[in-house]
Amino acid sequence: MHRLHLFAFTAALSLAACAEPPTLDDAGPAPLLPTKGSAVPGSYLVGLHPTAAHLVVEAEVDRRDPRPPVATIAAELAALPGVRVIDPLGHAVRAIAIEADADGLELVRADPRVAYVEEDALGTPASVQTSAPWGLDRIDQRARPTNGRYYYQNPSPAPHVYIIDSGVRGTHAQWSGRVGNGASFAAGADPLVDCDGHGSHVAGIAAGATYGVAKNAIVHSVRLTDAACASSAARAVQALDWVAANRQGFAVANMSWTFSPSPTIDAAANGLVSVGVPLVIAAGNDGLDACNYSPGRVPAVVTVGATTSADARWNDAQYKASNTGACLDLFAPGASILSADKDSNTDTLTRSGTSMASPFVAGAIARYFADKPGYTPAQMACIAFGGAGCADPNGAATIGVVTNPGAGSPNKLLFIPGPAPRITTFTCPDWGNSGANQYQCNVAYSSEAPATIAWSGGGSASSIFRTCTTGSIVTVTVTVGNDFGADTRTASFACPVGPLP
């Protein structure tokens, strides 16, 4: 949510319009936008003018919208010789995924409703492999050394986490009984089969029973990759559009992949956020400016860099380093992270990279906000880590602990509070032990983390026994607190004057 203001999320219709690339001149053929990455031959993303077609969400806002749906234009393009429509999209982005030969491409570009045609490109997963777990222990503490514990409370209802990746092993024990619907955008690829373990590892960090942040989240696998474990910009756009159309409950999406700059991916990312789904993106592992990649350069998404267990920006000479710059929103643990893998229902592996950092943030958003309805993605971002336009520019993030964050990078590290204590019993006065101008009060509580008791007038035990003056009104307050919050109770009563029982 870098450089983002809350007012940008006030209306779905205006957001959907803002998600589009700039309107291009209708004179002559629509421009062909070459990729800066590795092109996928014959595969393209066709961006439509905002005046040419409506998104599904726009029709829901105004059922009298005179523009046709994107699917109508897709059907007309599919009738052109040399053109095959792969996906009409139309939920998060006003675009169509196609395959076309040279002649078909020119026919598409000649259509006045087409704003641009973007060359499809391969994507890059944002992780590498190395060794040893620690991340959960770090994110619920402000400072090192850590205490070896991760304090959490599962929200109700359970959140939904969409893993846009290489597939997820559907039968893995880390999310047994918590697999939701999914999709695949490569022919013959099963979303519940993981081609290289990357997606399962990411899912384990976001939602695994042992390794995950949001331990009761429903896992939805949205597979980008084919049998060779290759992805493309077109599949990324299809995936984002599918999540926008099929989201359930409180939904968060994670995409630990980077792509060369793509206006269509950027528009799809904006579109997904505009319908209320926070989108968390790995910053990338090239040690470069994250603003050079889609969709991490989009202000509406959450772009995450990686740190080591020493709170340093991840920089592995054997591999690469976490990307940096103003397009980052925050850092999260990303070096030597243990999580699920693909080869058995209990398989694990240790990996490193910004791919591992972003699901920590996705899981944190899912866990913390699932039972707090009504927040927009921008408001969630302000609470979690701040940013431009937020009342608190730092939000809940831990500030200033990341060493060598990189030029222009925010020095913010993910922090998610554990549950505050809860007073379960407050008996004040305890009439069975009060009388003769004396009273006893008792408190009992539950707390996952170590907690302390503080009574008004002093005292830290679970009971107090005090004297009072006949005819006086006694007011007693007790507070139970831990590192994550506090619970307070107050009682007022007349001084007990009868005999002690």
DSSP designation for 179: B
Omega of the bond prior to 157 within 30 degrees of 0, cis? yes
For position 2, what pLDDT does the model report? 58
Q: pLDDT tier at 420 (50, 70, 90 boundaries)?
A: confident
Average pLDDT over the chain, rounded to whole? 90
For position 126, what pLDDT does the model report? 54
**pTM tops 0.75:** yes
Establish whether 165 is a catalytic residue: yes
Q: Which residue has the tokens 């089969």?
A: 193
Burial of 501 (0-12, 13-18, 19+ CB in 10 A): exposed
Burial of 304 (0-12, 13-18, 19+ CB in 10 A): buried
Q: Which residue has the tokens 């407050």?
A: 426
Count how many Cα atoms sit within 13 Å of the Cα of residue 487 in the half-sphere of its side chain.
14
CB 378 within 8 A of CB 390: no
| Catalytic residue (one of 262, 294, 352, 355) | 355
335-359 pLDDT tens trace: 999 999 999 999 999 999 999 999 9
| Catalytic residue (one of 49, 54, 198, 220) | 198
Whole-number percent of the chain with pLDDT over 70: 92
First to last CA, the chain: 63
| Catalytic residue (one of 165, 194, 241, 266) | 165
Separation between Cα atoms, residue 167 and residue 185, nearest integer Å: 11
65-99 pLDDT tens trace: 889 999 999 999 999 999 999 999 999 999 999 99
Separation between Cα atoms, residue 286 and residue 197, nearest integer Å: 21
Q: Which residue has the tokens 């101008």?
A: 437
Separation between Cα atoms, residue 193 and residue 346, nearest integer Å: 15
Per-residue buried b or exposed e for 351-375, using 16+ beta carbons within 10 Å of the residue's own CB:
bbbbbbbbbbbbbbbbbbbbeeeeb
Q: pLDDT tier at 131 (50, 70, 90 boundaries)?
A: very low
For position 62, what pLDDT does the model report? 80
Separation between Cα atoms, residue 487 and residue 471, nearest integer Å: 30
Domains delineated in the chain: 9-121 (3.30.70.80), 127-413 (3.40.50.200), 422-494 (2.60.40)
Omega of the bond prior to 377 within 30 degrees of 0, cis? no
CB 268 within 8 A of CB 126: no
For residue 10, give every residue at least 6 positions away whose Cβ sits within 8 Å of its Cβ, in sequence order, or none. none
Beta strands across the sheet bearing 452-455: 452-455, 473-482, 485-494
Q: What is the 3-state secondary structure (H, E, C) of 344-373?
A: CCCCEEEEECHHHHHHHHHHHHHHHHCCCC
Average pLDDT over residues 231-246: 96
Separation between Cα atoms, residue 24 and residue 264, nearest integer Å: 14
